[in-house]
Amino acid sequence: MSKDGILFDRIAFIGIGLIGSSLALSARKTNSASHITVCDINKAHRDKALELGICDTATGDFIEAVKDADLVVICTPPGVCGDAAAAFAPGLKEGAIVSDVGSVKQAIIHDVSQHLPDGIHFVPAHPIAGTEHSGPEAGFAELFDKRWLILTPPAGTDEEAVKKVSTLWERAGSTIEVMDAQHHDMVLAITSHLPHLIAFTIVGTADDLGDHLKQEVIKFSASGFRDFTRIAASDPVMWRDVFLNNKEAVLEILQRFSEDLTFLQRAIRWGEGDKLEELFTRTREIRRDIIEANQA
């Protein structure tokens, strides 16, 4: 497959926020589609996408959006992917590929698949890249460069469809990893969902401290807390949906996290410095391993 050049005649993006617009801009940059259309329930987002040159056409009509599309990418919040699929499914052309970008996989596969007619190829995907910003004006073509893209195709998914979706993401600069959806949801529960939950909690706790302390928190906010506030500024609707749709894995990881936190609480209470130091030495090593792996 060539690095540039038409890969899909028509791509339809359902939901044109941060992720949809970033992938659309990358598809444009690599000349991967002859025509890009977007469908979004928010007219202001459709107008902005047209104004920014993210797409050729925009519509609020789901059937019109997917008419003649070779690839349909669902980029809505996780909780409404199924509703969107139900709305556009009757308009899909025979043999079309449907994909998504949702942060949870098992629930979305369940919600979307049930609406797709026979002969449609569903290739679920998840870019491990994002920012705390939302909407079409937040998108940029380089967002996925040197980042992972996880595919979770159910058994029996058409290999050619998987290859075409992979190529689109490779052109965006991503490295592809294929995994089982259940495994994906457990891995992301610890690497992405729990960190977000912790950030939402810490910033909420600081905010509940009372006015005089709140001012001090803003004034003296050091880089550690600042990093948490960036994560805690992420889209509320998206993250509500992530937790409600990856409930089991998040609750299991949260249980383990609470036990580990209690262990640290006891160590602090009883002055057990060796236990604290042993853990902090181990975690420092992990950070070094991650940096090394990323440089390799």
Ligand X SMILES: O=C(O)C(=O)C[C@]1(C(=O)O)C=C[C@@H](O)C=C1
Smallest distance from ligand X to CB 138, Å: 11
Q: Is 91 in the site for ligand NAD (CB under 6 A)?
A: no
Q: Walk across the sheet containing 71-74 and list its strands.
A: 57-59, 33-39, 8-14, 71-74, 97-100, 121-123
Q: Is 246 in the site for ligand NAD (CB under 6 A)?
A: no
3-state secondary structure of 176: strand
Smallest distance from ligand X to CB 77, Å: 11
Q: Toward ligand X, which CB reaches closer, 66 or 238?
A: 238
Q: Is 77 in the site for ligand NAD (CB under 6 A)?
A: yes
Q: Toward ligand X, which CB reaches closer, 128 or 186?
A: 128
Q: Toward ligand X, which CB reaches closer, 148 or 267?
A: 148
Query: Taking a C-beta distance cutoff of 8 angstroms, is the pair 8, 71 a contact?
Result: yes
* Residue count, binding to ligand NAD (CB under 6 A): 28
Smallest CA-to-CA distance from 136 within 43, 6, 12 is with 43
Smallest CA-to-CA distance from 29 within 141, 165, 145 is with 141
* Cα angle: 121, vertex 169, 109; to 5 degrees: 40
Smallest distance from ligand X to CB 164, Å: 22
Residue 192 interacting partner from ligand X, ligand NAD, none (CB closer than 5 to 8 Å by kind):
ligand X
Which residue type is seen at 164? Answer: K
Applying CB under 6 A, which residues contact ligand NAD? 14-20, 40-42, 45, 75-78, 80, 83-84, 101-103, 127, 130-131, 134-135, 235, 238
